[in-house]
């Protein structure tokens, strides 16, 4: 069996395309998770008050996954707040 260079080239291209497709699907999943989390937060289940607190509704209608999503949004918004404070401190 003689493998030619064009066969190796096509296999390398195919493998590259598979890797790119897999990487894009992980990126898409992360974006979908972020949108789902933000939607729940915007539905009034959670409230973040910069420099003060993060309040998450903890009633029977909020399942564990939704509660975890809310904590992730609180953490992300707090990080944004901290980064904005760092910029303000650096400006002075």
CB-CB contact of 72 with 41 (8 Å): no
Q: Report the 10 Å Cβ neighbour count for 63.
A: 9
User: Per DSSP, what are the bridge partners of residue 47?
Assistant: 55
Instruction: Indicate the DSSP class of residue 92.
Output: -
Q: Which residue has the tokens 């992300």?
A: 76
pLDDT on residue 51: 81
Q: What is the pLDDT of residues 37-67, one digit of tens each?
A: 666 666 777 787 888 888 888 889 888 988 8
Q: Which domain holds residue 48?
A: 5-91
CB 74 within 8 A of CB 40: no
Q: Per-residue pLDDT tens for 5-39?
A: 777 777 777 777 777 766 656 666 666 666 666 66
The number of distinct structural domains making up the chain is: 1
Question: What pLDDT, on the 0 to 100 scale, is given for residue 30?
Answer: 65
Residue 32 half-sphere exposure toward CB, CA atoms < 13 A: 6
């Amino acid at each position: 069996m003689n493998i030619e260079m064009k066969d190796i080239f096509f296999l390398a291209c195919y493998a590259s395309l598979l890797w790119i497709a897999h990487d894009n699907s992980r990126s898409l999943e992360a974006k979908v998770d972020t949108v789902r989390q933000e939607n729940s937060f915007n539905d009034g289940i959670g409230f973040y008050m910069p420099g003060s607190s993060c309040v998450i509704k903890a009633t029977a209608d909020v399942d564990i996954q939704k509660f975890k999503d809310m904590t992730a949004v609180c953490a992300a918004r707090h990080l944004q707040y901290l980064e904005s404070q760092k910029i303000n401190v650096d400006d002075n």
